[in-house]
């Protein structure tokens, strides 16, 4: 049966007459008996949300405990603290900054509230649990969100009054031959570090996240997924051979090139939390092998000399990317740190040779530098010893831009870009610059929904800014607008390039084009076909312009 007919039937069975998703103040909010029935269906795994920092607060949701609060404060910046909790996410900005451990209360003035946390969390242990949650949310017109790790720059894995599907325990990893292709079947709750370790144990590698806490099979793959191995093998979405999902009608579906092909196309790069709930993915694996890494640092107070060296590095980046080399760089005025340059299947001597023009520029300007390469026998060891751990739990925002190879390889456009980049670094808090270039043809003959701008990219820029914890909502918006304004010259110097949707600005101009390029209209058609009633909503996700958030409540425009 066609999915739009199934969804129409579901509308007749239980959609609310209101233009907003059902909230506890509505007469149509599920009764205690109905919630209890759902809890019985999922064998008692329905949880009422209690914010993680309730131990630091008094009040109805608080359970103040000075020892537990101190322990949470000490662990707050760790991604694992939030990943292992049913409702906590790594960016408290999207919980409406409620119930934070940094401001423990001693009285009613510091009470802990739900804010924009979900009302209930379903601790998923099987695909049947996912179906039960999807069917219940559809029948009662509830907001539905999905959290696997909570590693999320957009707040897609939380929502006021929502029912949340927590896929953390769907953690299967099984290696197989998929139509003759070495592959691994990965559950939706598996983290990057887990799949890397499992692959290394059988002499394989997979294209996964740079951070260990990134949820491998969730929004990471759905958003395209860049990786330390992208310059060699392509985007994470390019590796997907098959997906098992639950669609808005509650049906479990296999998605592959030969079955539900249009949905399969959209799920690989069209964005997380938009089209279906992903239960597991099957992805290609690749032979493990030697990897060279090179931490590279230099600094100088000579401003022009410093930027001349940075310009040389940027000019080399497309050549390095074409050789499969990746780099993760923090570049701010006077300070360059690459942690690291990572070169699969390249010797230390070979990497030194490729970077020789940079060393020559550094010596020409009398800039002292450090560049010590290490050869590792396998990718896992190189990855473990190379990347700094990302800090969680802070109030911050990001802005993203893909820089085309054509900009970096032309002297005139590179100069224009350098001027814009230099100016922006004087204002924003940090810049992470990824030297990364998916190889031609890595998306396969039939393609996928990854932003086409990735296929032309030589670099990806991720800029960040801080938001003071006690900021009002007006101040938060003002800070976002300021960052966008500061970053605009970088966009102007890379016209038509777009950005990486999973790390972009919430206020990105013309986000549909910036995130998806020419794919957006096709993605919107897929969205309307498979989810015409809008069960799946994600901030700045496909079709989200048809909704708005009013004080955290999701309503149709």
Quote the pLDDT of residue 105.
Answer: 62
Whether 278 has a pLDDT exceeding 50, the answer reads yes
Quote the pLDDT of residue 192.
Answer: 96
pLDDT in tens, 5-20: 334 333 333 344 459 9
Q: How many domains does the chain have?
A: 3
| Strand 547-550, strand 144-147: pairing | unpaired
Query: Does residue 370 sit in the same domain as residue 270?
Result: no
Query: Does residue 159 sit in the same domain as residue 183?
Result: no
Query: Does residue 79 sit in the same domain as residue 40?
Result: yes
Q: Contact 78/394 with Cβ under 8 angstroms?
A: no
530 inside domain: no
Which residue, of 139, 166, 193, is where some domain finishes?
A: 166
Q: Contact 251/6 with Cβ under 8 angstroms?
A: yes
pLDDT in tens, 217-231: 999 999 999 999 999
94 inside domain: yes
Q: Which of 184-188, 378-382, 466-470, 489-493 bottoms out in mean pLDDT, i.e. has the lowest?
A: 466-470
Residue span of the structural domain in which 263 resides: 173-288
Which residue, of 260, 288, 316, is where some domain finishes?
A: 288
pTM over 0.85: yes
Quote the pLDDT of residue 277.
Answer: 98
Burial 126-154 (b: 16+ CB within 10 A, else e): ebebbbbbbbbbbbbbbbbbbbbbbbbbb
520 inside domain: no
| DSSP collapsed to 3 states, 176-241 | EEECCEEEEEEECCCEHHHHHHHHHHCCEECCCCCCCCCEHHHHHHHCCCCCCCHHHHCCHHHHEE
pLDDT in tens, 12-58: 333 444 599 999 999 999 999 999 999 999 999 999 999 999 999 98
Confidence of residue 444 (pLDDT cuts 50, 70, 90): confident
pLDDT in tens, 447-500: 999 999 999 999 999 999 989 877 888 899 999 999 999 999 999 999 999 999
Quote the pLDDT of residue 106.
Answer: 54
Quote the pLDDT of residue 389.
Answer: 87
Quote the pLDDT of residue 134.
Answer: 98
Query: Does residue 146 sit in the same domain as residue 195?
Result: no
Q: What Rg do the C-alpha atoms of the chain give, in angstroms? A: 23
Whether 238 has a pLDDT exceeding 60, the answer reads yes
Quote the pLDDT of residue 104.
Answer: 67
Confidence of residue 96 (pLDDT cuts 50, 70, 90): confident
pLDDT in tens, 239-274: 999 999 999 999 999 999 999 999 999 999 999 999
234 inside domain: yes
**β partners of residue 244:** 254, 280
């Amino acid at each position: 049966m066609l999915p739009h007919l199934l969804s129409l039937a579901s509308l007749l069975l239980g959609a609310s007459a209101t233009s907003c998703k059902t909230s506890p103040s509505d007469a149509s909010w599920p009764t205690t008996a109905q919630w209890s029935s759902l809890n019985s269906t999922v064998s008692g795994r329905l949880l009422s949300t209690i914010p993680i920092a309730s131990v630091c607060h008094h009040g109805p949701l608080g359970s103040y405990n000075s020892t537990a609060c101190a322990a949470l404060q000490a662990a707050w910046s760790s991604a694992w603290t939030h990943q292992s909790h049913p409702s906590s996410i790594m960016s408290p900005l999207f919980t409406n900054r409620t119930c934070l451990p940094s401001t423990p209360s001693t009285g009613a003035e510091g009470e802990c509230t739900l804010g924009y946390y979900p009302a209930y969390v379903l601790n998923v242990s099987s695909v049947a649990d996912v179906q039960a949650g999807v069917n219940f949310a559809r029948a009662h017109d509830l907001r539905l969100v999905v959290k696997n790790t909570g590693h999320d720059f957009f707040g897609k894995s939380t929502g006021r009054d929502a029912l949340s599907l927590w896929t953390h325990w769907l953690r299967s990893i099984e290696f197989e031959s998929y139509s003759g292709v070495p592959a691994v079947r990965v559950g939706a709750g598996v983290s990057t570090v887990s799949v890397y370790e499992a692959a290394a144990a059988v002499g394989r590698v997979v294209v996964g996240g740079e951070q260990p806490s990134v949820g491998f099979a969730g929004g990471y793959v759905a958003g395209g997924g860049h990786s330390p191995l992208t310059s060699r093998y392509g985007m994470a979405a390019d590796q997907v051979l098959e997906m098992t999902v639950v669609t808005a009608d509650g049906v479990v579906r296999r998605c592959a090139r030969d079955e539900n092909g249009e949905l399969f196309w959209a799920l690989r790069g069209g964005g997380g939390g938009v089209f279906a709930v992903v239960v597991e993915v099957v992805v290609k694996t690749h032979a493990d092998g030697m990897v060279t890494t090179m931490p590279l640092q230099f600094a100088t107070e000579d401003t022009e000399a410093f930027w001349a060296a940075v310009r040389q590095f940027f000019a080399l980046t497309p050549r390095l990317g074409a050789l499969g080399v990746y780099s993760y760089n923090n570049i701010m005025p006077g300070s360059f740190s690459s942690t690291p340059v990572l070169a699969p299947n390249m010797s230390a001597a070979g990497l030194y040779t490729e970077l020789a023009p940079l060393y020559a520029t550094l010596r020409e300007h009398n800039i002292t530098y450090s560049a010590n390469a290490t050869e590792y026998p396998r990718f896992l060891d190189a990855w473990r010893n190379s990347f700094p751990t990302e800090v969680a739990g802070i109030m911050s925002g990001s802005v993203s831009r893909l820089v085309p190879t054509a900009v970096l390889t032309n002297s005139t456009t590179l100069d224009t870009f350098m001027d814009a980049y230099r100016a922006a670094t004087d204002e924003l808090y940090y810049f992470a610059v990824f030297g990364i270039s998916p190889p031609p043809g890595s998306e396969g003959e039939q393609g996928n929904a990854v932003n086409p701008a990735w296929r032309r990219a030589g670099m990806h820029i991720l800029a960040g800014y801080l938001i003071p914890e006690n900021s009002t909502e007006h101040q938060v918006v003002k800070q976002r607008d300021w960052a966008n304004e500061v970053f605009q010259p970088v966009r102007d110097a890379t016209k038509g390039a777009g950005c990486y949707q999973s790390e972009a600005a919430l206020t990105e101009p013309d986000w549909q084009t910036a995130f998806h390029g020419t794919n957006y209209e096709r993605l919107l058609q897929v969205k309307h076909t498979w989810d015409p009633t809008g069960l799946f909503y994600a901030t700045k996700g496909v079709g989200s312009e048809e909704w708005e958030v009013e004080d955290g409540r999701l309503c149709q425009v």
